[in-house]
């Protein structure tokens, strides 16, 4: 498109119509038009998510309509984008607006995806004008006005676009090529969808399922010993647990030999022990950090069984529709110091939205500055918090209220004192045997006051802050062992993943590294996918029928097991994929490897895998006899369905044979 603007208009390019209307209202752009709002020397318009999509292989070359191993790997030399049919009208609107405007303010969501949504449109129309970046953390009036006063140069966020391009192209390369490869290999009428992140995520579930399936319970033994004390309460005994020495137990300090446990009981019954340790220390626990998206998804899964995508949709509605919370796709749990001045306004808004909080917030100390106020910990976004908007909560449904309640109470908790408790430890020794008791007594509730109503909604979320108070004893005091109890136990298998625990595993995969070389390469914060994509990855696994859900538990299907057994480690290894995600993060932060280096890495990997796939495939294909093919199978040449056909010419006219349904593009056939 031309470089000379026809007017001095500036275009604010938003991600969604609702976002555009919010910004237009504050900018005074009230003149409604088809696909945009106009004001004085400015226009506000929007995308509708991605307006463009990457072209499929057959748009590069018609021969790719046939699925064939011979065509792999498919490696575009010049990447092509095409308008999405469902939103092509809005793309046409933007084309016309870009011709009218001399500058653009990118006002899409403040993340990699938002940056990509806007810039791919500008790139598609070869826009060469000036641009700036509006970085929004919330859509309430105060936040939007503040962001408008601090519009950034667009080159500050441009690396996010290159990261988005790298992610999209890498996903295309892996998905398009390996889905074809492993679908053709399987030849069982089931598409084997392979994804750069979805496949290693599936591998986590398959591995856990197999650990559970192969688990064999091992018996172990615990001993409870009860000691008489000089406590004024008659008959009260000190309950302790025997501490197995290393030689009598396993790595978890469990006693695996019943004879050893029985010997302890025999030698300690009615014996006098000496108190070796008797301590009580005051402990303090600061308020929990703010929620990021993953933590919010995990908590909602644990409390109510909400799915990850469901929580993301709810959080998005609270941000975008209700304006009650800040940007939801955050990976951060902290706040910038600059927002400390907003505390009074936010707490006032919370009371105005829900009068039931008035008494609680009256007890809050607005001058307290908890550990969440830390500029050094801020990433592209801050933690999820309530905004200063006051629309009330009447419009919220039950699920929206539950998520909103988590967010607001975690924020309120920052303005209460530390939770304080007394931690007591007693160790009684009988010769070489040690018996230990621990107790914790709440002394100052502090921030737990802010979470009491929240936890009361879910009995499973209750925290026992007052473990049994221990009787007063002194070091060196002698206590008679009144009786002992032998408990037969069995080791338990690991638990199946829920959506919440799977999100946690995806997020913290980097911390599970034991290999020293990989640990050095992989940051502790590296994970599978991002805050914004993990929910969608899980949904994709459901849609592809790789996993199913029984109650809240995720389990792999036979199709899921089959795929993981087929693909090489380089595709299903979560740690390697987390390393790729780390490289995408480096691109987004303009450090380390660039987009070309990253894509070359993916291309080299593809070439290696396809070479491995082809060799055994061709040998198997040549050895396969005709009676092993039947109607309904996938064609070994192109992947379409085989069908029974009648010969219409030649010496066998009228006879039936098995042929490809993609004829004449594919001419594979055989005679039964």
Name the residue with tokens 């979805």: 198
Number of helices (H) and strands (E), helices first, in the chain? 20, 20
**Residue 308 near residue 298, CB atoms below 8 Å:** no
Q: How far apart are CA 103 and CA 7, in angstroms?
A: 10
Which of 401, 271, 376, 266 lies closest to 324 in space, CA to CA?
401
- DSSP code, position 471: P
DSSP 481-506: EEEEEEEEEE--PPPPP-HHHHHHHH
**Sheet with 642-646, edge to edge strand ranges:** 642-646, 656-660, 669-670
The span from the CA of 102 to the CA of 115, in Å, is 20
Q: Which whole-number Å values give the CA distances from 553 to 166, 491, 556, in the listed order? A: 33, 20, 10
**Residue 173: other Cβ atoms inside 10 A:** 20
To the nearest 10 degrees (0 to 180), the angle between helices 198-213 and 534-543 is 70
Beta-carbon contacts of 506 under 8 Å, excluding residues fewer than 6 positions away, are 201, 204, 527, 528, 529, 534, 537, 574
- List the one residue out of 47, 160, 55 whose CA is nearest residue 108: 47
Asked if residue 505 lies in contact with residue 211, where contact means CB atoms within 8 angstroms, the answer is: no
What is the token pair recorded at 334? 């902290």
Distance between CA atoms of 400 and 394, rounded to whole angstroms?
11
Q: Is 327 annotated as catalytic?
A: yes
| Kind plus residue range of the DSSP H or E element containing 457 | none
Phi and psi angles of residue 32, each rounded to the nearest 5 degrees, phi first = -80, 135
Catalytic residue (one of 36, 64, 327, 334) = 327
Nearest to 254 by CA among 512, 487, 481: 487
| Phi/psi at 239 (5° precision) | -90, 125
Block residue for tokens 């780390």 = 582
Known catalytic residues are: 327
């Amino acid at each position: 498109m031309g470089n000379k603007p026809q007017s001095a208009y500036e275009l604010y390019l938003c991600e969604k119509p609702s976002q555009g209307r919010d910004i237009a209202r504050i900018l005074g752009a009230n003149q409604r038009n088809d696909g945009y709002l106009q004001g004085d020397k400015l226009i506000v318009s929007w995308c509708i998510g991605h307006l463009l999509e990457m072209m499929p292989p057959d748009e590069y070359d018609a021969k790719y309509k046939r699925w064939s191993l011979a065509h792999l790997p498919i490696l575009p030399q010049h990447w092509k984008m095409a308008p999405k049919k469902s939103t092509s009208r809005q793309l046409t609107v933007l084309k016309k607006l870009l011709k009218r405007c001399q500058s653009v303010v990118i006002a899409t969501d403040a993340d990699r995806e938002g940056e990509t949504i806007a810039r791919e449109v500008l790139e598609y129309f070869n826009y060469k004008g000036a641009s700036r970046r509006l970085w929004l953390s919330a859509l309430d009036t105060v936040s939007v006005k503040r962001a408008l006063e601090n519009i950034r140069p667009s080159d500050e966020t441009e690396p996010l676009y290159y990261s988005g391009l790298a992610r999209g192209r890498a996903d295309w390369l892996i998905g398009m090529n390996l889905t074809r490869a492993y679908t053709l290999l399987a030849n069982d009428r089931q598409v084997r969808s392979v994804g750069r992140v979805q496949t290693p995520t599936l591998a986590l579930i398959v591995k856990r399922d197999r650990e559970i399936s192969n688990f064999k319970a091992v018996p172990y033994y615990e001993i409870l010993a009860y000691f008489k004390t000089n406590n004024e309460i008659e008959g009260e005994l000190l309950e302790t647990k025997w501490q197995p020495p290393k030689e009598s137990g396993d790595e978890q300090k469990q006693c695996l030999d019943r004879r050893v446990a029985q010997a302890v009981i025999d030698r300690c019954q009615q014996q006098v022990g000496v108190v070796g340790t008797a301590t009580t220390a005051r402990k303090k626990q600061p308020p929990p950090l703010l929620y990021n998206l993953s933590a919010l998804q995990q908590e909602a899964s644990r409390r109510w069984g909400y799915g990850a995508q469901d929580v993301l949709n709810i959080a998005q509605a609270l941000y975008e529709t209700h304006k009650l919370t800040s940007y939801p796709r955050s990976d951060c749990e902290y706040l910038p110091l600059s927002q400390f001045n907003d505390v009074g306004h936010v707490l006032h808004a919370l009371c105005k939205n829900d009068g039931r909080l008035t008494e609680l917030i009256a007890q809050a100390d607005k001058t307290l500055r908890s550990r969440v106020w830390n500029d050094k910990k801020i990433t592209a976004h801050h933690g999820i918090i309530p905004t200063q908007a006051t629309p009330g909560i009447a419009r919220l449904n039950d699920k929206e209220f539950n998520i909103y309640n988590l967010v607001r109470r975690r924020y309120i908790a920052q303005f209460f004192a530390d939770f304080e408790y007394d931690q007591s430890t007693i160790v009684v020794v009988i010769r070489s045997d040690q018996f230990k008791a621990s107790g914790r007594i709440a002394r100052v509730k502090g921030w737990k006051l802010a979470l009491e109503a929240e936890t009361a909604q879910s009995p499973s979320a209750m925290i026992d802050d007052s473990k049994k108070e221990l009787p007063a004893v002194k070091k060196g005091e002698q206590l008679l062992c009144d009786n002992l109890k032998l408990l037969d136990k069995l080791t338990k298998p690991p638990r199946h993943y829920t959506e919440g625990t799977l999100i946690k595993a995806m997020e913290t995969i980097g911390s599970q590294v034991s290999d020293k070389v990989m640990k050095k390469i992989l940051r502790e914060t590296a994970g599978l996918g991002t805050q914004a994509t993990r929910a969608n990855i899980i949904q994709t696994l459901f849609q592809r029928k790789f996993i199913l859900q029984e109650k809240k538990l995720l389990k792999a299907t036979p199709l899921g097991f089959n795929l993981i057994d087929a693909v090489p480690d380089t595709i299903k290894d979560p740690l390697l994929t987390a390393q790729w995600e780390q490289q995408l993060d480096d691109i987004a932060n303009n450090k380390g490897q660039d987009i070309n280096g990253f894509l070359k890495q993916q291309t080299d990997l593809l070439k290696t895998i396809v070479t491995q796939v082809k060799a055994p495939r061709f040998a198997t294909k040549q050895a396969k006899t005709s009676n092993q093919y039947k109607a309904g199978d996938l064609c070994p040449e192109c992947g379409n369905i085989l069908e029974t056909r009648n010969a219409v010419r030649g010496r066998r006219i009228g006879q039936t044979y098995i042929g490809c349904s993609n004829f004449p593009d594919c001419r594979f056939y055989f005679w039964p």
